[in-house]
Structure 1
Amino acid sequence: MKNGKAVGPDDIPVEVWKCLGEAAVEFLTSLFNRVLESERMPEEWRRSVLVPIFKNKGDVQSCSNYRGIKLMSHTMKLWERVVEARLRKVVEICEQQYGFMPRKSTTDAIFALRILMEKYRDGQKELYCVFVDLEKAYDRVPREELWYCMRKSGVVEKYVRVVQDMYERSRTVVRCAVGQTEEFNVEVGLHQGSALSPFLFAIVMDQLSEEVRQESPWTMMFADDIVICSESREQVEENLERWKFALERRGMKVSRSKTEYMCVNEREGSGTVRLQGEEVKKVQEFKYLGSTVQSNGECGKEVKKRVQAGWNGWRKVSGVLCDQKISARIKGKVYRTVVRPAMLYGLRQCH
């Protein structure tokens, strides 16, 4: 874990364990072994603080435009990392999932989508890409569905019980600008801000999509960001209906208002994509995993955004970069950490 993270209700930052060195390793090893053996974690770990974070889009007064992040015990997060490492050894996630997988990243998914669209533009063929939006995906995962998906993925019963214990009697309070609410139980969904939740969600999506997903790049997932591609409008409509049925029968919900599509080399009279009789919003560009993808293949808008992001990063650290007392080595490290990644993100996929 990185330093400087907000602490949970126990007020113990991860820096404490790092400072203790070998003594911390011995203590945590003993503690985690006891938790694993008993399948019961300390009661203090069940508590969390929920902080609403604005998504920087939409109406600031609308609750739907906020993402809830749980501040949890850092010690519990270390325990989650141990459990995650064990689960990854036995669970095999499909190749269509790019989110939180080893040797995969957002840029790989962006690259695959751009290359697919480019090939169809060069071949003067139609290509439909539907960007499926799931409403409050993490918060909607039914707990029983999670246990079922874990067992179906080959997780041994002991580790299913260990994860069940993490969610048993979990309690939280909501902290905002005007104060803090009373503590209440959380009985549905995955923990936002948890170290283990991304992989648990990948397990759930892997099982829910097993019957409907196609090979990559025709189907690509990055956590709850789903892209469905097809050569014809009829086929993409059929695939979209199947995805909606597969997801919603197991507790998820597809947002009709935020699900959008674009078409490459669209012919006259092709018609619009529909979902259960209602038109899906058609767009000429879409912000996919932070990178703007345009149906005509141009990258001008994305390049302008990257230039602006680079300047924004420069302004944040200009005091360091322009300080003559700071060494060139430190300045170079700050530049490579803050400015360059923001400026070059996703651009290697542009042609």
Structure 2
Amino acid sequence: MSIEGARLMEKGDVTRGRVTEAKSSKLPNVQVGEWIEGEFTQKELADALKKTKDTAPGVDGLKYHHLSWFDPDSRLLALLYNECRVHRRIPAHWKEAETILLYKGGDELKPDNWRPISLMPTIYKLYSSLWNRRIRSVNGVLSKCQRGFQEREGCNESIGILRTAIDVAKGKKRDLSVAWLDLTNAFGSVPHELIEHTLIRNGFPEVVVHVVKDMYKGASIRVKSKTEKSEQIQIKSGVKQGDPISPTLFNMCLENVIRRHLDTAAGHKCLNTKIKVLAFADDMAILSESQDQLQRELTKLDRDCTPLNLIFKPAKCASLVLEKGKVNAAAVINLKGVPIRNMACSDTYKYLGIQTGVETRTSEMDLIESVVKEFELLVRDEELTLPQKLDCIKSFMLPKMTYMYGNSIPKLTELKYFAGETMKAVKSIHEIPHSGSPVEYCQLPISKGGLGVACPKITALITYLVSTMKKLWSDDEYIKKLYSDYLKEVVVAETGRQDVTLNDMAAYLSNETPSKKKNFGYTTFTRIREVCRGLSSIKDAPLHKIKIVEHEGKLAILVQAIEDGPEAVYTESHVKKLQLLLKKEANTGILHRFITQKPVKSQVVQVVLQHPQSNSFVRNGGQMSFSAHKIVHKARLNMLVCNANTWDATSTKQCRRCVKEKETQMHILQVCTYNKSGLITERHNAVHNKVSELIKKGSKRNWKLVDDSVIAGPSVKRPDIMLRSPDGKEIILADVTCPYEYLEGIQRAWDHKVEKYTKAYKYLEARGIKVTVLPIVVGSLGTWWKPTTNSLLQLGIDRKTINEWIPKLCAATAEYSKNIYWRHIKGDRYQSIPMKFGLDKPPGNSWKRGKRRKPPKPAKN
């Protein structure tokens, strides 16, 4: 390099330094205690590990749980990290990352259609997270308007503040101008010199500055494809993707711009609150009183950003201009000399993942339809089991909607449509008829006898209610004041009262006060009125009552799940569990409605309630075949095809086999002579034989066991199991039965078994022998009668073994009942196939069906 070139380069460095110094002049010099450079403790490490989740490992191949396994008390890790802290350096290989590309869709040749994912060594990420937790906890480093990557609901708060400003400007016919800004490659553009300078300017000690500086010194990535890896690529600018400390460092660098804007901008006054800028990392929204003011502020903001290598992308920015509450679609806002998109009444901008515009309610049909298409593909999938499909819906598909539920206000008709499609998919997967089958069976939790898929509409209404109440109860006085003023202004406008009280506001939100919606338009609180009505007043509403009330000088939620049930009041002290508590109340109401309004279809569910393990197969598949899975749900709803279940008045209701009684499910599974001596008896024997085996391995294995033998004395009854103690002074009589599930019937079956041996009981007791009668009751549709557990305990079977065998015995009875039904329907065409889970599995593998294999992919041309 020539001497002149060196001088020019030195001059450029000085100029950049001066620019950085000028642009960071508004950064605060905060008080950072000596604690930030102190030793890492084992407790600090343990707390950090608790917050981590296993993700794809880096080049070291380790995950967080490996570190916990290797060093359970974090002693060795603390020693290692403290050495790095003392020397202010980390090993070179900690700085190496591997980047993989995930295909997003579209043209595979376009780089924009691939998402880079950086995989860093886990041992480094934990070290980085320790410093991140320390730096982030320093008060005053970040502005309150910066809500990105902090321990708060930043997206929800930012969207709520912006939504409030727009609604108030419309409702009160005020002026408001908003610009949504997008930075080009924001995280990858931050100069490393700016990171160092920002830390120094904020007053962080030399140790912290050197530690962070070393993290970036010599850092590199290697891009990995399916077949090869690139050479190491040095990271010369930008914060590192996938590094826990990166979001905090980026936010701190952006403060150079945000602080200058807050110092000079006039902003927008929403009621009694000033709003200037909303930031979630690089997603920013600028608010001003007028179009001209917004233009001036954007021009200045751009001048502040450009020298710091933070470049706005006009094509991805947008503006909204309201003049006296009306949209000015002709307004022109320039950025970098280029007009940005200005929104009309029907336009929206996707801000933090939510379509935002002048209209409070937005259509979410694109998202809804995309999930519905996934439902359709899942229903047709032949590779997944029923529990796996159900888990896909609950773990992957429905959670996609959660963010939208809390931050957007879709139309109620869209939520109703989505709820219907969800229930239809769940019924299709389990082969439950769409028509006539109760949705409550799909919606109830698995522990309550249902399939555990919550109604999306109910979930959406509850989620939005919780989201709004959190802001009215917020610990942040800024948000709490803004929302409280917003609510008061809406109530004043729509009720016509000037001096509204907290009770007036509660009555308005509870939909108990008539309102004039045109006075303010549709607002956040209009949706809360719809929530209260949708959860308690309309047909099929889950709750008897839900309303907003005044409680100890603050707003609270009063809920009554059923008419004769207790009332519960939820206050801000319940805010962390409010969503869960309200869902629990809704499930209580749904269960009560199911049992009281649909007693026939809820008979089996009532039995499951007294022992929820009877329904565990829904979640994990249990010991139940696919064919049994496909029939058991219809059977539990009394919807199996049989003569008694037809609405055709001209069709016979008599049994097609014995022609003696009506052909009901209970008749087929319990009493029809066609199967009585065959599969019905085999079902009983399967349970009997397994219980006998377990007794022989239990604590009473030294007792004399006699199966199916007549009791001594005048009685001719033959209990399935008779146990005699070694000294002959005690006898236990156990009898197995597999009754049809309805509470009165199953209790009657239990009582009958006790009464059956009364004569023998008295005869033996008269001779000084202690006699115990123990019924063993397992429902024919795979349910467990709770007192049976105690019977097995008295037979010497330990509780662990009982808990292990409950689902297996339930599955066995369901398997036999399935075969009983199909043999009854098909008659001579029925073919008996060995039951894998019917306790009669034959030896060998010749009877098993071969695995289904996917057809070969067509060859590419």
Please state which band the TM-score falls in when normalised by the shorter chain. 0.7 to 0.9
Match of 2:359 in 1: 296
What secondary structure is seen at the aligned counterpart in 2 of 1:149? Answer: helix
Q: Distance in 2 between matches of 1:257 and 1:291?
A: 19
Matched, 1:72 2:114: no
Change (3 A) 1:55 1:266: farther
Q: 1:20 to 1:224 in 2, by over 3 A?
A: same
Task: Give the counterpart of 2:151 among 86, 91, 102.
Answer: 102
Residue type matched to 1:71 in 2? Answer: L
| CA shift digits 1:90-115 (9 cap, x unpaired) | 35210110101222321111111111
- Per-residue deviation, 1:251: 1.5
Mapped to 1, the partners of 2:163 and 2:241 lie a distance apart of: 30
Q: Displacement, 1:295? A: 1.8
What residue identity is the alignment partner of 1:50?
A: T
Spell out the pairing of 1:48-63 with structure 2 (5 A cutoff).
48-53=97-102, 61-63=109-111
Aligned to 1:280: 340
Q: What runs of 5+ residues in structure 2 fail to find an aligned partner? A: 1-51, 268-273, 409-463, 469-523, 528-861
Q: Secondary structure at the match of 1:125?
A: coil
- Structure 1 distance, partners of 2:342, 2:80, is 54
Alignment RMSD: 3.0
Match of 1:346 in 2: 407
Matched, 1:135 2:193: no
Q: Give the AA of the match of 1:262.
A: L
Taking the aligned partners of 1:70 and 1:246, their CA distance within structure 2 comes to 30
Q: Is the 8 A contact 1:126 1:267 kept in 2?
A: no
Q: CA deviation at 1:49?
A: 0.9
Q: Distance in 2 between matches of 1:132 and 1:291?
A: 15
User: Equivalent residue for 1:249?
Assistant: 307
Look up the match of 2:230: 181
Matches within 5 A, 1:135-174: 135-174=184-223
- Alpha-carbon distance, 1:315 to partner: 7.1
Structure 1: give runs of 5+ residues left out of the alignment: none
Distance 1:65 1:226 in 2: 24
The 5 A counterparts of 1:309-324 are 311=372
**Structure-2 change in CA distance of 1:312 and 1:177 (3 Å):** same
Match runs of 1:15-94 below 5 Å: 15-20=65-70, 22-23=72-73, 25-53=74-102, 61-64=109-112, 66-90=114-138, 92=140, 93-94=142-143
In structure 2, distance between residues paired with 1:78 and 1:105: 24
* Alpha-carbon contact 1:153-1:203 (below 8 Å) kept: no
Corresponding residue for residue 117 of structure 1: 166
Larger Rg: 2
54 and 212 in structure 1: CA distance in 2 versus 1, 3 angstrom threshold: farther
Tell me the residue number matched to 2:53.
Answer: 2
Kindly state the Cα deviation for residue 193 of structure 1 after the two structures are TM-superposed. Answer: 1.1
CA distance in 1, matches of 2:286, 2:404: 28
Given residue 310 of structure 2, which amino acid in structure 1 is its aligned partner?
A: M
Call closer, same or farther: CA 1:96–1:343 in 2, change over 3 Å: closer
In 2, Cα distance between equivalents of 1:324 and 1:59:
35
Q: What letter matches 1:229 in structure 2? A: L
Q: Which amino acid aligns with 1:217?
A: I
Residue pair 1:141, 1:188 contacting (<8 A) in 2 also: yes
How big is each residue's C-alpha offset from its partner over 1:286-330, in whole Å with a ceiling of 9 and x where there is no partner?
Answer: 11111111223332x13x3554466478679889xx97769x9x8
Partner in structure 2 of residue 203 of structure 1: 252
Change (3 A) 1:8 1:146: same
Gap change, CA 1:310 and 1:325, over 3 Å in 2: closer
Q: C-alpha separation between the residues in 1 aligned to 2:349 and 2:88?
A: 45
The CA distance in 1 between the partners of 2:150 and 2:198, in whole Å, is 18
Deviation digits for residues 11-45 of structure 1 (CA, Å, limit 9, x no counterpart)? 1221201323525x111111111110111111210
Q: Look up the SS of the partner of 1:206 in the other structure.
A: helix
> Cα–Cα, structure 1 residues 65 and 150, in superposed 2: closer, same or farther, change >3 Å?
farther
In 2, Cα distance between equivalents of 1:44 and 1:108 = 40
**Aligned CA distance change for structure 1 residues 55 and 212 (closer, same or farther; 3 Å):** farther
- Greater shift, 220-229 or 202-211, is seen at 202-211
Q: Cα–Cα, structure 1 residues 140 and 263, in superposed 2: closer, same or farther, change >3 Å?
A: same
Q: Find the aligned partners of 1:38 and 1:2 in 2 and give their Cα distance.
A: 29
Q: Which has the higher contact order (CA 8 A, sep 6+)?
A: 1
In 1: Cα distance, 2:244 partner to 2:328 partner: 48
- Structure 1 window deviating more from structure 2 (255-264 vs 30-39): it is 255-264
Tell me by how many angstroms 1:76 deviates: 0.6
Tell me the percent identity.
22
CA distance in 2, matches of 1:19, 1:317: 37
Instruction: Tell me, in whole angstroms, the C-alpha distance in 2 between the residues paired with 1:316 and 1:87.
Output: 46
- Structure 1: which amino acid aligns with 2:130? V
Give the 3 Å change call, closer, same or farther, for CA 276–167 of structure 1 in structure 2.
closer
> Deviations for 1:183-203, whole angstroms, at most 9, x for unmatched residues?
121111110111110001111
Using the TM superposition, give the Cα deviation of residue 79 of structure 1 relative to its aligned residue in structure 2, in angstroms: 0.3
Structure 1 residues 114, 30: closer, same or farther in 2, change over 3 A?
same
> Where does residue 271 of structure 1 map in the other structure?
331
Structure 1 counterpart SS, 2:275: coil
TM-score (norm 2): 0.37
- In the alignment of these two chains, the number of paired residues is 342
Cα-to-partner distance string for 1:258-302 (whole Å, 9 max, x where unaligned): 121123344669631122443111132111111111223332x13
Matched position secondary structure for 2:97:
strand
Q: Quick one: structure 1 residues 135 and 178, their matched pair in 2 at CA, closer, same or farther if it must change by over 3 Å? A: farther
Q: 1:270 to 1:342 in 2, by over 3 A?
A: closer
Cα distance change on mapping 1:54 and 1:116 into 2, 3 Å: farther
2-structure distance, mates of 1:336, 1:27: 41
Question: Is the 8 Å Cα contact of residues 51 and 69 (structure 1) preserved in structure 2?
Answer: yes
Cα distance in 1, alignment partners of residues 225 and 103 from structure 2? 12
**1:271 is aligned with what amino acid?**
A
Residue pair 1:135, 1:254 contacting (<8 A) in 2 also: yes
Mapped partners of 1:249, 1:238: distance in 2: 18
Q: Which amino acid aligns with 1:279?
A: P
Bigger CA drift: 66-75 or 330-339? 330-339
Q: CA 1:313/1:123 → structure 2, altered by over 3 Å: closer, same or farther?
A: farther
User: How many Å apart are 1:331 and its aligned residue?
Assistant: 9.9
Match of 1:219 in 2: 277
Query: Partner amino acid for 2:340?
Result: V
Say if 1:267 and 1:334 are closer, same or farther in 2 by CA, change over 3 A. closer
Alignment partners' CA distance in 2, 1:242 and 1:59: 38
Q: Return closer, same or farther for 1:276/1:21 CA change in 2, 3 Å cut-off.
A: closer
Task: Note closer, same or farther for the CA distance 1:229–1:80 as it changes in structure 2 (3 Å cut).
Answer: same
1:180-233 residue CA offsets vs partner (Å, 9 max, x unmatched):
211121111110111110001111111232111357633000000010111211
Q: For 1:119 and 1:153, locate their aligned partners in 2 and report how far apart those are by CA, in whole Å.
A: 37
The structure with the greater share of residues assigned to helix is 2
In the TM superposition, what is the alpha-carbon distance from 1:69 to its structure 2 partner? 2.7
Partner secondary structure for residue 237 of structure 1: helix
SS at match of 1:79: helix
Shift of 1:51: 2.4
> Would you say the 8 A contact 2:59–2:119 is kept in 1?
yes
1:61–1:55 distance in 2 versus 1, CA, 3 Å: same
- Measured in 1, the distance between the counterparts of 2:374 and 2:126 equals 31
Distance 1:294 1:217 in 2: 17
Amino acid in structure 2 at the alignment position of 1:223 = A
Residue 59 of structure 1 and its aligned partner are, at CA, apart by 6.0
